[in-house]
Amino acid sequence: MSDDVNIDVRMTQLFALVYEALAGATDALLGNDSARGLMVVEGDQSVDELTAEVELMVWKQIEDQARPSAALRHLVGVLLIVPELERSGDLAEHIAQRAVANLGSKMTPLSRGIIQRMAEVALEMWRDAADAYGDRAAKAQALSEADEEIDILHERLTREIAAESMPTAIGAQVTLLARFYERLGDHAVNLARRIEMLHPPLA
Question: Using an 8 Å Cβ cutoff, are 122 and 94 in contact?
Answer: no
Q: Domain ranges in the chain?
A: 3-198
The fold for domain 3-198 equals Methane Monooxygenase Hydroxylase; Chain G, domain 1 (1.20.58)
Cβ proximity of 80 and 21 under 8 Å:
no
pLDDT at 94: 97
Taking only the tens place, the pLDDT of each residue in 186-195 is: 999 999 888 8
Q: What DSSP state is assigned to residue 78?
A: H
Q: Please tell me the total number of residues recorded for the chain in this structure.
A: 203
Per-residue pLDDT tens over the stretch 134-154:
887 777 888 899 999 999 999
Give yes or no for a contact between 99 and 37, defined as CB atoms under 8 angstroms apart.
yes
As averages over each run of 10 residues, the pLDDT of the chain (203 residues) reads 78 94 96 95 94 92 72 84 94 97 94 95 93 80 91 92 87 94 94 79 44
CB 142 within 8 A of CB 189: no
